[in-house]
Structure 1
Amino acid sequence: MSYQRPKGTADILPGQSELWQRVEAIARTVMTRYRYREVRTPLFENMEVFARTSGETSDIVTKEMYNFEDKGGRMMALRPEGTAGVARAYVENKLYGPEFAKPYKVFYMGSMFRYERPQSGRQREFHQVGVEAFGVDSPALDAEVIALGVDLLTALGARSLKVAINTLGDPTSRQSYHQALIDYLTPFADQLSADSQVRLTRNPLRVLDSKDKGDQAIVANAPKILDYLTPNAAAHFATVQAQLDALGIAYEIDPDMVRGLDYYNHTIFEVMSDDPVFGGGFTTILGGGRYNGLVEELGGPETPGVGFGMGIERAMLLMQDQTVADRLPVYIVTISADAAATAARLAHEIRLQGYPVDLDYQGRKAKAQFKAANKANAELVMTLGETELAEGVVTVKNMATGEQQQVQQAAIAGSFKQVYTELTEAAQHE
């Protein structure tokens, strides 16, 4: 019997993993500039964490969540997104206390799971980088989070970005809009998809997020939430726009955007690219918004919050023409069997000083070992034979120039950095 990875998952192999590491390293660098620190939450949570926060009528909860009963009879779920788990950790660890600065800024990166149709840049196990900022209700923070998202994608090499923003208003705005939607959609109830018929009675705003073509045609003429904003909600959104203008970030207002999770309110946004790699049209790579009320849903005090999530797989598509050069500082070639122990000792000493080293483990002839060193892009090749063993030296060849010289083994053990610098920099100046 042959075994294959589960549908919608991928093996990230050497050669690919280096590019993943680059994405993660760039993300860490950019987010650290904005004073976000890393948080790591469990891969699975009590299912109620997601059902309560994402919305019981959302596609994530009704169709996509991987949930299971554990051996204690508790209903658990693999995390389908990052925000709910981070908010739960914020509440459970009382990070809202007076000893913590506001806003409390964190970022996360890791695997998420949704049972959906696999496609390019979207898998059932996928990976996200995200940020969350708790404790401040300022629209300036909304704008800063959007700026962070744009900076992150730009640092990853994204081109032709488009920022779309909208507002879902405050609770009073939502209540007025909720009724207006019901009044508009009710005459079309029989024409709506089965899912949207359920949503019409439970959460009419979710109908706007339907992927059904018939539903989309109906909601095209639905009322817009921008017409139902309270003065406070309108002022919040206007300030976000003014802040983005001040930051020089171009944006479009999309009054039909609702995002796919129930916890959003006030500002929501998506950052898209029409890079040809996506097959035409703009594709969302990063999205998020404000979620005042989420912390309270999980048992915490009244706490505003804002953040975003970015799909790493989609970001990787933007970088598919990039490569990460595999640089090997040293390869050790052994001419005689007696040299194996000395080669292993030198390799260990060099590695302890922070440099990667490789050597032969197959007893191959010197010619084959040099070929392996060449294939590994080795900068220096150290050769150990009977003469070198007797004299306590190694013969070192700079593979770029072909120059060779003998170096004391004790010097390598004492400070390989000095030896490496002298041998490589000397070659560069020739």
Structure 2
Amino acid sequence: MRKEGVEADSHTVGFLVKGCSSMAGAREGQQAHCHVLKMGFSSEVIVQTALLRAYALLGELRHAQRVFDETPRRDLPMWNAILAAYAQQGYPEEALQVARAMAERGEGFRPNEVTAMSVLSACSSLRDLKNGKLLHGFVLKNIPSLDVLLCSALVNTYAHCGALRSARHLFDEMPVRDVVSWTAMISGYSDNDRPAEALALFEDMAAAGVLPDEVSFLAAAAACGKLQRPDLAESLEQYSRRRGLCGSTRMANALMLMHARCDNLRRACRIFGELRERTAVSWTTIMQALAMHGRGADVLVRYAQMRREGIAPDGLCFVSVLSGCNRAGLVEEGRRCFRDMAEEQRLTPWVEHCGSMVDLLCREGLLEDALAFLRSMPMKPDERMKRAFFRACENRGGLDLAARAMAELFGLEEPPPPLAVQDAGFIGLNS
């Protein structure tokens, strides 16, 4: 078009920029940006908004913010675009900062439903119930009729923040409910350790004629695993197969973990074996399943297979690997994997990694080694580590060692109370 001398207008450039947002990298977006500048459209807010959205979709938030800052006159769609960019790309705190700036500057417009959706998404991610309530009040005062998407976002925010009574009240008051609103409430019950209510609501959704999607099944699978009901797990998997949702890797990962928690490790391993594409999450999931059943040697086999296939382990993967070594009492293997994580993979240990190592060394009676490990940790020992160490010292006659550790590491004058029975498992083993 340019070669034939046809002059482009703002609509042409807008479509060009939108096309670049679907490309794999930022290079095309930057090229489109250059065309915008050369043709003199840098002051047109419609073109700049399209450019901002393109950068956001490409994950280039720094460039998106620069486009926003360099636009002299901004309208509501542009504010909504930068707000959605931060909320959707995993920067909820920055999204709330943009919302505050939008409210303070007051450029002659009021936030609308699109604004509210982005702010609610940020509040949900941050578990920020206070700002969620404030926004709910604003919505009731300033938006005359709430559509199903906005109501669903409110339900999701309350549920994510643990305010299940408020979430359920909003849900029950909705005149029309779609799969998003049902899923928000089901996920809320599941995430807040009320799995029976989550599954009951899942059945109500099917009875109401609303077909569940993959996200609904993921929430139901998580709830089923928490209930540890093998019969329900089997029924849920068969239902998902009839709905044609078992083909995705994400769904297979959820089913693996569900069956493992329901004491059906064989079924979890079979699903893993049937996977055509195994992601890092898939490998981590099967290792977590094996670890929770005490199959430490099998965890190490899967870990070695994953490395041979060229998949780099992350922090979550090492939680599962070290948990498997802990459960099976594999001290040297656990030490080797911990060294691999810190030295070869250059990963900073988490409290879960260190907790598994302390528990492993204490269980095997290596109290001096456990104390040396506690000294070398990048963080202070938490309550579980302290209790595990003192319990091991008490059981194995290491009272002098315990006294040394109290003064040197913990700043205590007396050991902490013993672990309750339900606290005996370390983080990552039973989760």
- Under a length normalisation based on structure 2, what TM-score does the superposition of the two structures give? 0.19
**Which structure exhibits the higher relative contact order, with contacts defined as CA atoms closer than 8 Å and separated by 6 or more residues?**
1
- Under a length normalisation based on structure 1, what TM-score does the superposition of the two structures give? 0.19
Which structure has the highest helix share of the two? 2
Which structure has the highest strand share of the two? 1
Q: Which has the greater radius of gyration?
A: 1
